[in-house]
Every structure is written in structure tokens, then in C-alpha cells.
Amino acid sequence: MLRIIDARSGEPVDAVPVRRGLTRVEVHVPGYDSSALRALLVADVLLRALELGGTPVWALLTADRDQAELHAGAAALGIRPFEDLGEVGPAWGESQVVHVVGEGGATPDGVRVAVAPVETPGPAEGTDPAVVRLALLTTPRNTPARLDGSALGQAQETLVRWRRAVAVWARQPSRPVPDEVRGRLRTAWEDDLDVPEVLRVLKWVEDSELPEGARFETYAYADRLLGLELTRDLGAPS
């Protein structure tokens, strides 16, 4: 079961309703900037983790300004569409609400997931959005992130290498994700949404002696959480 640290109390709480039902995830940011996009990205991964566990979700955004820019920036990073909170009717049917808040945003009552800011300006024009996504996911969400040349360069190198490896592994007979690996992945993201640990597990799989078909299925499975399009190069010339 997914448990997250409530920023108000510092204690872990269940992100999944006690009785199976809807979890509403609300993102609160002042306006458009790299830090706001990071908060939306954290919420996107949280929603993916909940859905992987079978929990239905409702994604909502509240911002003081720049709603159009936020929606466009989120779409570029592969973040799902969020409904504007001010445009929807009263909540109904949900039994859990999780608020994702960026620095300088609102401090609503209820369970809060705090996201540290991005300390440097956004990436240069033309940077692959998936590279930006990976660079942000590599840093724990409660640690300020830096989108400088070094961070983006490392993310690009990793993303290119993994996509090429996945395309090669896909040519071999498919093998199931090993139970131990699946367990390590789920333990990581269900423990306060520890995405950096998920990435470390993938690095271990990359360097392991597991059958290539199992490595392919592992990366495809983990990408349901990460949203990095790791299978994008399937069928491309080697």
C-alpha cells in the first residue's frame, strides 16, 4: 500500500482510502515556473502509482495565475491533464484527498506532499522534455533540484542508453519480471514515492545477468510509473 510522508506532521499516512474508492490529488502552485512544473510532475507520478495499485484517481490543479501556461508546460513533460479546481463542481464520492504543494503555494488542510523548488531556470529551448522529466525525477522531491547543464547531460546520457538497451532487449523472447525485482520496485514507490530508488533498481537490472527479455519487461513495467517512453525506440535501426 502506498504511504507518503505528510508534510504537516512528518508522519507517514496511507495515500489509498481505507475503503476502496476515489483518491483526489490536488496540486497547489502560485503560477507558471519550473518549480510549479516539478510539483505537477510529482503529482503525476503519485497518480500513476495509485493507479498501478488499482486506486481510481481524480487530478485537479489550483493556481493563482498562468493556468494556460501550466497546462501547456505539463503536457510537454508528459504530465497528464489536470482539471482546474475552480471549474469543477463539488467533490463527490472520494474518501481520500492528497494535496501536492510547491514552495510559496497554498497550505490547505489535509494530507500534504511538499515539493522543493527548482533552483535554476528551466532548460534551454530544444531540450528533450523526457530528459527534463528524468533530471527532475532523479532528485528526491524534498530536495531542491537543479536543471543545469550537468544534470541535463547526465539525464540525457542515461535516457539514450536505456532506450537503446530496451530496444535491443526487446528482440529476445519475453520473460516475466522477476518477483524479487517487481517487489523491489513496488517497495520503492510505495515507500513515500521513492522514485530515485526506482531508478537505482533499474540501474541494477541494467548491469545484472537477468535474461534480456526479463530486463525488457522490467523496464516497460517501471515506465508505467516513470513516464519516460523507454520503449520509444523499439524497431528503430540499431
Burial class (CB in 10 A: 0-12, 13-18, 19+), 238: exposed
Classify domain 3-117 at the CATH topology level: Rossmann fold (3.40.50)
Q: How many residues can be counted in the chain?
A: 238
pLDDT higher than 70, residue 220: yes
Between 145 and 15, the more confident residue is 145
What pLDDT is stored for residue 91 in this prediction?
57
Phi, psi of 52 (to 5 degrees): -60, -30
Q: What is the distance between the alpha carbons of residues 230 and 234, in angstroms, rounded to a whole number? A: 9
Sign of CA dihedral 134, 140, 144, 146: negative
In a 13 Å sphere around the CA of 67, the CA atoms on its Cβ side amount to 13
Burial class (CB in 10 A: 0-12, 13-18, 19+), 107: exposed
With bands split at pLDDT 50, 70 and 90, how would you rate the model's confidence at 85? Answer: confident
Of 7-11, 36-40, 82-86, the one with minimum mean pLDDT is 82-86
Q: CATH number of 153-226: 1.10.390, 3.40.50, 3.30.1490, 1.20.120?
A: 1.20.120
Q: What is the distance between the alpha carbons of residues 74 and 32, in angstroms, rounded to a whole number? A: 10
With bands split at pLDDT 50, 70 and 90, how would you rate the model's confidence at 11? Answer: very high
Q: Are strands 94-102 and 83-84 parallel, antiparallel or unpaired?
A: unpaired
Average pLDDT in the 68-76 region?
94
The three cell numbers of residue 89 are 463542481
pLDDT in tens, 148-161: 989 999 999 999 99
SS3 state of residue 131 = helix
With bands split at pLDDT 50, 70 and 90, how would you rate the model's confidence at 126? Answer: confident
Phi, psi of 118 (to 5 degrees): -90, 125
Nearest CA-CA partner of 195 in 144, 140, 157: 140
Q: Which amino acid is at 99?
A: H
Residue 27's H or E segment, with its range, is strand 22-29
Q: Where are the domains of the chain?
A: 3-117, 153-226
What pLDDT is stored for residue 230 in this prediction?
96
Average pLDDT in the 27-48 region?
95
Q: Percent of the chain scored above 70 by pLDDT?
A: 91
pLDDT higher than 70, residue 200: yes
Whether the Cβ atoms of residue 136 and residue 154 lie closer than 8 Å to each other: no
Whether the Cβ atoms of residue 138 and residue 151 lie closer than 8 Å to each other: yes
Task: Pinpoint the alpha helices (H) of 98-178.
Answer: 129-138, 149-169
